[in-house]
Structure 1
Amino acid sequence: MNGLAYAWRWLRSLLFSVLIYAAMLPIGLAYLPWAIASRDGAVAAAHRWCRFVTWLARVLLGLRTQVRGTPPTGEVMIAAKHQSFLDIILIYGAVPRGRFIMKKELVYAPILGQIALRMGCVPVDRGRRGAAIKKMMEEVRAGRDDPGQLIIYPQGTRVAPGVAAPYKMGTAALYRELDQPCVPVACNVGVFWPKRGVMRRPGTAIVEFLPEIPAGLPSAEFMSRIEAEIETRSDALMAEAGFPIAVKER
């Protein structure tokens, strides 16, 4: 790619980022009365924004998105590969009642924080790991009367393609406490929408819902299984996108 083409793609990527974040405010305001009255309004607002982002990515960037597999509709835990903000958007947009464990500070964001709470997101202080896990479990137990899909990231942070990062045992603690099936999710979205920087690449970004893992497995078996299934399938999706998955760093 020559310098002019690179600059043009970078500018379009910058415009894309500005537009999607700017759109949060009008969509949030438009749905706020409904969101205050019902969780349905908050979920509808988030789904509308997800659709806007994927539409704009296709139109402005040539970045198509695809959801493979069968998104769950019942009360399950979703354990997903996390490469960038795009996997959050695609996973949430594909399930009817998704909720996240989120940083406590986000609660204080105007409009967005209140909508996130109404969506059923669980705020925790990530600076205190033990207390955070305990808080997660308390909030999840308290929210069981409002069925949904709890979306978590077993590696705890965004991990760039080609980089290895451990799967954290807090995932097994939640799986054990919830006593629910777990749906693993693989992705290749970091190849096109990196964890840092403005540039977005054209192509087809994919998240794939894998077969459900039943509740009640021993923790070690569960962790070994989700890591193997998520990593193996994510590597295959990245290879499909042309990423050299053989060169992994540790």
Structure 2
Amino acid sequence: MTWLRSALFNLLFLGGTALGCLAALPLLLAPRRWFLAYLRAYAGVVLWLLRVVCGIRVRVTGEANLAAARQPGGGALVAAKHQSAFDTVIWLRLLPDAVYVLKQELLRLPVWGRLARHSGMIAVDRSAGAPALRAMVQAARTAVAEGRQVVIFPEGTRTAPGAPPAYQPGVAALAGALGVPVIPVATDSGCFWPRRGFRKRPGTITVAVLPPLPGGLPRAEFMRRLQAAIETESDRLRASVVGNPVENFVE
């Protein structure tokens, strides 16, 4: 049954995303706030499909830690664990005006890349070294000045639950340059929507929003505390899933 439900979800998610991108093209001529509302609606539909088709619910803990970011004009830097495509959807619902840091290759995708540019997503050329880092910081400064919330995945790519982390320096560069709260986020999304996995497992994805890190930390100390906060909580969430297979992996 899980395989059938997963196949249906994948068909609806991939097909719906493709059709949704085409339907959104006229919004390139409209104010950006219209496109933002469209993205929020799209994310809501994806979460609804997860619940109805796959039996996957979403639980968010520590939402109070997003209070400042949700204020009008509240810029913030969200440093989130990235285990699944789910993580690229959820922040469109949790934040009022999220902008993602993403790899430049994604902007080359037909239609989707054009929409991503229009929405102000921050693309990084990972092969360009220091100039790419400076361009990322400048784009993030512009976004924060506009009251947007920058979402970065510190490892730069999806990692399977329990895999050794490899945090990249980009998050430290943003933290030092933006002067806004840095909000760590842990998750167990990869236990239910696996990285590059076909099968979606019923259960409850937890998004754990952790207390913001204090500003002005030395870079090494910031990276140590960020990784410790995210990985410790992500490991705890994964352990609770493994220890409760009846609830989370029922066929």
TM-score by length of 1: 0.87
Conserved 8 A contact 1:67-1:206: yes
- Secondary structure class of the residue paired with 1:217: coil
CA distance in 2, matches of 1:213, 1:36: 39
The answer to whether residue 17 in structure 2 is matched with residue 24 in structure 1 is yes
- Secondary structure class of the residue paired with 1:159: coil
CA distance in 2, matches of 1:117, 1:209: 27
CA distance in 1, matches of 2:164, 2:128: 24
Deviation at 1:35, TM superposition (A): 4.6
Which runs of 5 or more structure 1 residues have no equivalent in the other structure? Answer: 1-7, 245-250
- Secondary structure class of the residue paired with 1:96: coil
With 68-77 and 180-189 compared, the bigger mean Cα shift is at 68-77
Deviation at 1:243, TM superposition (A): 5.7
Conserved 8 A contact 2:143-2:149: no
Moved over 4 A (4+): none
The answer to whether residue 132 in structure 2 is matched with residue 139 in structure 1 is no
Could you say which residue in structure 1 is the equivalent of 2:248?
none
CA distance in 1, matches of 2:242, 2:57: 15
- Secondary structure class of the residue paired with 1:79: strand
Deviation digits for residues 75-94 of structure 1, max 9, x if unmatched? Answer: 01000111111122123321
CA distance in 1, matches of 2:167, 2:109: 29
Whichever residue aligns with residue 163 of structure 1, its letter is A
Q: Percent identity?
A: 40
Deviation at 1:40, TM superposition (A): 1.1
CA distance in 2, matches of 1:106, 1:87: 16
CA distance in 2, matches of 1:36, 1:214: 40
CA distance in 1, matches of 2:194, 2:243: 13
Whichever residue aligns with residue 242 of structure 1, its letter is V
Whichever residue aligns with residue 49 of structure 2, its letter is L
CA distance in 2, matches of 1:146, 1:32: 24
Deviation at 1:31, TM superposition (A): 4.2
Deviation at 1:182, TM superposition (A): 0.3
Could you say which residue in structure 2 is the equivalent of 1:232?
232
| Aligned residue among 32, 36, 48 for 1:43 | 36
The answer to whether residue 80 in structure 2 is matched with residue 67 in structure 1 is no
CA distance in 1, matches of 2:169, 2:156: 10
Which runs of 5 or more structure 2 residues have no equivalent in the other structure? Answer: 245-251
Deviation digits for residues 107-151 of structure 1, max 9, x if unmatched? Answer: 243432232223221122223333321220122234344221111
Across the two proteins, how many residue pairs are aligned to each other? 237
The answer to whether residue 162 in structure 2 is matched with residue 169 in structure 1 is no
Whichever residue aligns with residue 91 of structure 2, its letter is I
Could you say which residue in structure 2 is the equivalent of 1:78?
78
CA distance in 2, matches of 1:145, 1:114: 23
Please tell me the root mean square deviation across aligned C-alpha atoms, in Å.
Answer: 2.0
Could you say which residue in structure 2 is the equivalent of 1:247?
none
CA distance in 1, matches of 2:61, 2:4: 30
With 60-69 and 196-205 compared, the bigger mean Cα shift is at 60-69
CA distance in 2, matches of 1:222, 1:101: 19
* Cα distance, 1:163–1:25 mapped onto 2, change above 3 Å: closer
Conserved 8 A contact 2:99-2:143: no
* Cα distance, 1:218–1:144 mapped onto 2, change above 3 Å: same
CA distance in 2, matches of 1:134, 1:33: 32
Conserved 8 A contact 1:31-1:41: no
Could you say which residue in structure 1 is the equivalent of 2:180?
180
Could you say which residue in structure 1 is the equivalent of 2:128?
128
* Cα distance, 1:156–1:105 mapped onto 2, change above 3 Å: closer
